[in-house]
Amino acid sequence: MRPQLLDSIVVVFFVAEMLGKMFAMGLYGHKESYLRNRWNRLDLLINLGEFFDFFMDYLGLHLQVSQVLGPLRLISRVASMRDIVSALLIIFPMLANVLCLYMFVVHIFGVIGVQLWAGRLRNRCFLGEDPTAMYNVSLSPYYVTKYGEFQPFLCSPEGTSGRHCSEVPANRENDQTCSLAPPAPSVFGFTGAGTNACVNWNALYNVCRAGAQNPNNGATNFDNIGYAWISIFQVVTLEGWSDIMFYAMDVYSFWSFLYFIFVAIMGSFIMMNVCAVVIATQYSDNMEHLRLQQTRREDSAVLVKWLRSKWTGCLAVIRRRASNRVRRHDDDSRADDLTVGGHIWGLLRTRLEKIVKSKIFDSLIMFAVLLSILTLAIEHHNQPNELTNILQISNLTFTVIFVVEMVLKLMGLKCAYFEDRNNLFDFVIVIISLWETITKAGGRLSVLRAFRLLRFGRLLHYLPYLRTQLLVLKKAMQEAASLCMLMLFVIFVFSLVGMHLFGHGLHTRKIINDRNNFDTLLWSMVTVFQILTEEDWNRVLYTIMAATSPWAFIYFVAVIVTGKHVLLNILVGIVLQGFQDRRILGENHASVTSVDANAKDENRTHGESPATVTPSPPLEDSSADANGDEENRSRNQTALRWCKKREDWSLYLLSPQNRFRLFCKSVMSNNSFEYTVLLFILLNCITIAMERPGIESASKERMFLNISGYVFSAVFLVEMLFKVLTLGLFFGSESYCRSAWNVVDGSLVVASLVDIVVSMTPASHSKMLGILKVLRLLRTLRPLRVVKRAPKLKLAVEALITAVKPVGNILLVCCAFIFFYAILGLQLFKGKFYTCRGEYIDDINNKTDCLSANYRWEQKDFNFDSLPQALMSLFVMYSKDGWVTLMYDGLDAVGVDQQPVINHNEWMLLFFISFMIVSFFLLDMFIGVMVDTFHDCQKQQKKLAEEAKNRSQCGAGAPGEAEVPQQTPYQASYSRMRLSIHTLCTSHQLDLFMAVLIFISVLIMAVEHYQQPLYIKKLTEYSHYVFTSILVIEVLLKLVAFGVLRFLRNSWNFMDLVVVLLSIMSIVLNRMRVSQHIPINPTILRVSRVLRLAQVLKAKRIRVLLTTIIKTLSQVGNICLLFLFFFSIYATLGVEFFGQLECAEDDLCLGLNEYVNFKHFGMALFTLFLVCTGDNWSVIMMDTLKQCRPGECSHYLMWVSPIYFIAFVVIAQFVLANLVVAVIVQAMEDSNQVKEEASSGVSASNPVDSGTSDPIY
């Protein structure tokens, strides 16, 4: 009753406020009226929702719309949130266009998915005979793995690609694999197996057909366009997308992975990044515009200013009274006690003040802080008692040191001590350390000692560039405060909506688990935050859809689009704006510095010119050393003269006119020589890709690889010798070693020669094995030789090299952040991430109970038992992979050697959620660094291109200024009929008609579904004939209007012709009924006609987006080449490291499987792409550690594997993937520039000349 009364009072208050504003401002009719303000209209809508709720309650329906709309009042009353929402409303049209293009891409791929896999994900291996009647054995109707539907066994019919029922694993009994076939019935009973024999009953599952259920509780399928949208959206979010891909590979073909990789690249890496760039750039511009428009704050700004003035006045009064009291006390003390002791105390305090302000004192304290942090870092679980005692003594020692520091500063600085925030921070830490030491209250209080690490922030003035980036981060955090408030508000609203839709009455806690539910506000907000981070959001979706309805998918899409793709991308815009401001300030500072330097040079030239002509003192002044030194000097001068004379000689042996050197130069300058070397490099890359650990030493393949290695080494040695003899080795302006790329080539050649020599050395194999492994690992770097010979790849690599310094600084910041949280996690969770594995563990409370029950006491994969393990766990969280599981383990942790209890300490949410929030800022800093670096490289490249263009124009005498005679339009000689056809083909009405037609055809294709009625099949078939006929007529008309050559000269017309040919081909193949004999369904060729929409779309904003996407796709070749180059090196290393790993039958591999492994180069590339997308990469890494048993693989994999995967994730996810964002930002700027030039009339062209009315380019 009380909540209802409170709700009524709140409603009455806001209704009274609304009515008061209406009477004061007027309802409608002038500029300042009530309804002219959008926020007043929002209040009116909310109040109407309140009345609607009261009315529905009166009718007995409890909809509670007002509880969802009510929190929206906060937006109109917080000025900073109102500004953000206003900026979002301004960019909403552009954002809507991006989302429309995004949904269009999802729809197209969904249509293709329905054509390929409708009903196929239902395939299961069913029994071919009745085991109950024949063998008196009860079996499941279809084969079910021991993990149930969590990992279903999907199949493909015999005679097709994919996985077949013959691959069903044999069943196991008593940890033994059954191998006997089912007994054959006979007249005398069953034969073929003994009574107690182990029979492989799984062999009876030999019929692959469609069942009744799809994977993931029916949520993952392509049976109709709706479920296809769900699956494609999941692929675009890159969460759990590999499972869907594996399902398609099982039921259709191994080559299905090409479709999903293309969807991931097009949807996630391009479309989603285009959305991020649009929001980030447009938001920055609009916020700047809003700040210029709003000269003063009303309401809250006046209130804040008044409160600030009152607070400042109060502080001033308190400070004045305190100072007067201190001064009065000092005067009294001087008057009453002017003794020798007071004088000594004054001298002592002055000396202490100098000491505590000295650099030596500060350095000693910093050294003590460093040692105290090291003592915290070396703690680990199950550490020796001696180490524990040493750490306790050291902790006591450091506490005493910091107490002495605090006392000295208090004595020396007195009240000024508390004016410094750093001193206040130190004071709190020291008091807590004293409390912990005196009361011996260990545990959570010891965590606060880790905050000593923050004192190292004082050292940033020694690292100016790092300090600059930290200032950018600090500014971004300050400006994002209101954004964080809005994000919290959005999470709160979606949590309320989730509670009303999926909580309480549905009891989703029982269906999902104790955490991923919407039953309480806390766990509803945690679940929404998890969905925002896109970590395991698909698992929540599956269970919610199973519990409620497939329409629940709309809620998850709204959360992800609003939170992840809109609000979090605003954070990207804030970071980019910070880097842009820093760049502008740097350019201004550089210009001012150059002006000052020029002025100084000018002053020096005018004022100090006589000093420049002052003769230098003579060097020969003594004759005492003439006897001994003159001979040495003459000898050195002779040698120098000889070297100077032969400076242009190669190796001081071959003169520039030497015939052999001239021959080498002619060979090296020949293009055939460079192409031949490039061919051998590519062949060498292929042979390196063929390497794998499983090749037998006596096989022909190993012999071929060894001989080819010798041949390639010889060829590269000859190339190196030719270049050295031509250019010289060290000396000379163009010598071989002057180029860094030549140094790389030469180092690889020398390494390969050493490898050959060491392998042929008749020494002990065990001694040479380690050297051989290192040298063979250097072979993986041979693709670096390609970089020098590919100009575009070389430019991209040089851009990455330029980004090493700023990226290194960001990595340093991230490492410090992760290290700080690792120390915290080490103090909080050391020894607590263990659990008991067994059948009945409800009564297990600790390790002793677990072992006494003959169960296994296991450590969690990711834990905080030591600093390295804590760092690895936090890096996994930082990459947004598996952080939810880690958070749940932290919430369940009870104590050392204690069995976890679900939600034992919910306050640990602060540790994990705060880490994830700060990680968003640091991840966006990588984007800012890459965009800033790419902008600088692009600017320098444009500058060089402009200089080259100016030089060419000056050399050519500016021939472009000649007048071009005006040409007669080509259609002037047309007949009246052909001219009318030309007018029709160049009209906007035709483009609009074709756009509507193609849009209708796409909708009709989306109607197809699994087990569709016959009339739908006829509708789609006949409509395809009609649409194809219209397309053919359009192409014929354009051929008549423009002519064949002029028609084909335009790329869009050529695309029209291709679309028509593909449509005709699909009709022919369908009529011939050859779909069973070709690898793809010919009906998907119909989807190609949607490409026509790119040409006929007329909205200006969409055209800008299309231009941006096309410009980005034009750079995809360079980016893909860079990715492929980087992946090839890592794939070769992965095959060398993990090629022999096999999943054990008794230990499930959650990451490695038949499709994800490092057995050969191709599978390694595929696996690395999965790691690059961040989909369960941590599970793959842990599988490489679990499956490496002693004696089966190299011992160094235990530390090589984490380094390998973490380094790859940093380079691939944080650097290379953000390079795509930088390319899109540049493409967006170019597109806007082209649009502005076109609107201002700078670039005018004849649109009908090329056969299309409005070309994109």
Q: pLDDT of 380-431, one tens digit each?
A: 888 888 888 888 888 888 888 888 888 888 887 777 777 777 777 778 878 8
- Average pLDDT of the residues in 361-373: 82
Residues 6+ apart with CB under 8 A from 208: 123, 124, 125, 126, 155, 156, 157, 158, 164, 165
Band of the pLDDT at 709, cuts 50, 70, 90? confident
Q: Specify whether the CB–CB gap between 495 and 521 falls below 8 A.
A: yes
Distance CA(581)–CA(1245), nearest Å, equals: 37
pLDDT at 231 over 90: yes
Q: Specify whether the CB–CB gap between 518 and 503 falls below 8 A.
A: yes
- Average pLDDT of the residues in 884-908: 89
- pTM for this prediction: 0.80
Range in 620-634, 736-750, 1125-1139 the model is least confident about: 620-634
Most confident of the following: 91-100, 206-215, 969-978, 1138-1147: 206-215
From the number of C-beta atoms within 10 Å of its C-beta (0-12, 13-18, 19+), residue 246 rates as buried
pLDDT at 555 over 90: yes
Query: Of residues 576 and 879, which shows the higher confidence score?
Result: 879
pLDDT for position 797? 72
pLDDT at 74 over 80: no
Phi, psi angle pair for 291, to nearest 5°: -65, -35
pLDDT for position 295? 43
Enter the tokens of residue 110: 């969904």
- Average pLDDT of the residues in 248-271: 88
Q: Specify whether the CB–CB gap between 229 and 106 falls below 8 A.
A: yes
pLDDT for position 553? 92
Q: Specify whether the CB–CB gap between 1166 and 1119 falls below 8 A.
A: no
* Neighbouring C-beta atoms of residue 348, cutoff 10 Å: 12
Q: Specify whether the CB–CB gap between 817 and 469 falls below 8 A.
A: no
Enter the tokens of residue 313: 């006045």
pLDDT at 1096 over 70: no
pLDDT at 482 over 70: yes
From the number of C-beta atoms within 10 Å of its C-beta (0-12, 13-18, 19+), residue 60 rates as exposed
pLDDT for position 188? 44
pLDDT at 580 over 80: no
Type of residue numbered 1167? T
pLDDT for position 1146? 57
3-state SS class at 835: strand
From the number of C-beta atoms within 10 Å of its C-beta (0-12, 13-18, 19+), residue 580 rates as middle
- Average pLDDT of the residues in 1006-1025: 86
pLDDT for position 870? 92
pLDDT for position 554? 92
pLDDT at 361 over 60: yes
**Summary mean pLDDT of the chain:** 76
Q: Specify whether the CB–CB gap between 1212 and 1175 falls below 8 A.
A: no
* Neighbouring C-beta atoms of residue 664, cutoff 10 Å: 20
Distance CA(119)–CA(728), nearest Å, equals: 68
- Average pLDDT of the residues in 108-134: 87
pLDDT at 922 over 80: yes
Query: Which residue has 């200024």 as its token pair?
Result: 961
pLDDT for position 1245? 42
Distance CA(1131)–CA(1167), nearest Å, equals: 9
pLDDT for position 623? 47
Residues 6+ apart with CB under 8 A from 22: 34
Q: pLDDT of 925-966, one tens digit each?
A: 888 777 777 777 767 766 766 776 676 666 555 444 444 455
The Cα diameter of the chain in Å comes to 127
Band of the pLDDT at 1256, cuts 50, 70, 90? very low
Q: pLDDT of 1116-1174, one tens digit each?
A: 666 777 788 788 888 888 888 888 787 766 566 788 888 888 888 889 999 999 999 98
Enter the tokens of residue 690: 């063929």
Distance CA(70)–CA(126), nearest Å, equals: 54
pLDDT for position 123? 92
pLDDT for position 195? 43
- Average pLDDT of the residues in 1027-1053: 85
pLDDT for position 1098? 47
Q: pLDDT of 651-666, one tens digit each?
A: 666 777 777 778 887 8
Distance CA(648)–CA(974), nearest Å, equals: 69
Residue 576 to residues 279, 397, 801, Cα–Cα distance (Å):
12, 46, 21
Enter the tokens of residue 727: 């250019």
pLDDT at 31 over 60: yes
- Average pLDDT of the residues in 363-370: 82
Distance CA(366)–CA(459), nearest Å, equals: 9
- Average pLDDT of the residues in 982-990: 84
- % of the chain with per-residue pLDDT over 70: 71
pLDDT for position 433? 76
Band of the pLDDT at 1084, cuts 50, 70, 90? low
Distance CA(450)–CA(724), nearest Å, equals: 57
pLDDT at 285 over 80: no
pLDDT at 763 over 60: no
Band of the pLDDT at 1251, cuts 50, 70, 90? very low
Band of the pLDDT at 232, cuts 50, 70, 90? very high
- Average pLDDT of the residues in 155-182: 82
3-state helix, strand, coil in the chain (%, to 5): 75, 5, 25
- Average pLDDT of the residues in 844-858: 88
DSSP state of 72: G
Distance CA(1104)–CA(282), nearest Å, equals: 13
Helices (H), 520-567: 521-533, 537-547, 553-559
HEC letters along 77-110: HCHHHHHHHHHHHHCHHHHHHHHHHHHHHHHHHH
